[in-house]
Amino acid sequence: MTRWTVAAPTALDFDEVTELNVRLIGGTVAVLAADDQEPSSGAAARGTLTVTELSGRPLQVSHENGTLTVSYESLTWEGVLGLLKPRKDSATVAITVPAACPIQLGVLSASAVVAGLRAGAAVRAMSGDITLNGVAGDVSAETMSGEVAGCDLDGEIRFKSMSGGLTLAGGSVDSLTVNTMSGQVTADVALNNRGGGCGAGSLHVNTMSGAVTLRLPADSDAKIRLQSTSGPVRTEFETLRTVKAPASHTVSGNVGAGTGHVSVTTMSGAVTLLRGSAVNSRGDGPPYPPGYGMESTTL
């Protein structure tokens, strides 16, 4: 194992990086896919670390058997969400790794950007915001109050928070699972069908009071159930129908053949399902704001 104690701005190169672990407190961190490395080239999976600003304790960097770790002493992955008295350590860090490198990224108040990776990512944040751009594979995100924004994600996505919100724009998902207490959820995605066409994927959202706004392509295939105990439920899909039940506002039915599954359950949050363009012509813009074009079924 090779170790470095980084106490000042520096740049390091690594001959082989096949796994990345990052744990920071404050500042910013960007993890980017190296744009000049393809598996077919036979070149070593190289990586770089650039630290441009640093205050507080030094960073501890290690590189062993392809695993690159950037962290502080005694800060573990499990401790990212459990540190009761965070220190005022701060760093501005940029890391490049091969696109096929899996990563584990944890921050407290730092903001983070992850872009271009194909092997998924596991991210955690206390109050820091996380941006995921063009990440494919198994993606899991967990925050306390930090916001997570994703663009053009592809694969299986899991999100969990207390009050942090989730915003997704573009991309197609095999599955999207969201659990939050009061965080707002906004997602403009297509349900993936690896066999072709749009459908067969799944989307499940559970909140206590967080509002949920979804937009699906007009040619989606999904069985849909939207339910709020006390909040309004609205949809632009004309094939969905209101289900009357005591102490429950519910809209359900099939869109297309109903091969995929979409469910939203909330106690007091508002639920809105928008109808986007067909998958072959839909744009990559963000979902419309809540309340837009709500002329169809309304409870």
Q: Residue 132 domain-assigned?
A: no
Q: How many structural domains compose the chain?
A: 2
Q: Residue 39 domain-assigned?
A: yes
**Does one domain contain both 84 and 163?**
no
Q: Residue 224 domain-assigned?
A: yes
Compute the distance between CA of residue 130 and CA of residue 110 in angstroms, rounded to an integer.
9
**Does one domain contain both 45 and 83?**
yes
Q: Residue 205 domain-assigned?
A: yes
**Does one domain contain both 230 and 106?**
no
pTM: 0.88
pLDDT at 283: 40
Q: Residue 124 domain-assigned?
A: no
**Does one domain contain both 171 and 275?**
yes
**Contact predicate 165/183, CB 8 Å:** yes
Domain residues for 71? 1-118
**Does one domain contain both 165 and 259?**
yes
Task: Assign 41 to helix, strand or coil.
Answer: helix
**Does one domain contain both 111 and 159?**
no
Per-residue pLDDT in tens (0 to 9) along the chain, 299 residues: 899 999 999 999 999 999 999 999 999 999 999 975 555 555 668 999 999 999 999 999 999 999 999 999 888 877 777 665 667 899 999 999 999 999 999 999 999 999 999 999 999 999 999 999 999 999 999 999 999 999 999 999 999 999 999 999 998 999 999 999 999 999 999 998 754 455 579 999 999 999 999 999 999 999 999 999 999 999 999 999 998 788 889 999 999 989 999 999 999 999 999 999 987 543 444 443 433 333 333 33
**Does one domain contain both 72 and 3?**
yes
> Which of 70, 103, 118 corresponds to the end of one domain?
118
**Does one domain contain both 209 and 272?**
yes
Residue 41 main-chain phi, psi, to 5 deg: -75, -20
**Does one domain contain both 151 and 243?**
yes
CA angle 77, 165, 211 (to 5 degrees): 145
**Does one domain contain both 12 and 50?**
yes
Alpha-carbon dihedral sign for residues 8, 10, 12, 18: positive
How many Cα atoms sit within 13 Å of 9 on the Cβ side? 3
Number of residues written out for the chain = 299
* Distances from the Cα of 212 to the Cα of 92, 201, 232, 290, angstroms: 34, 19, 11, 9
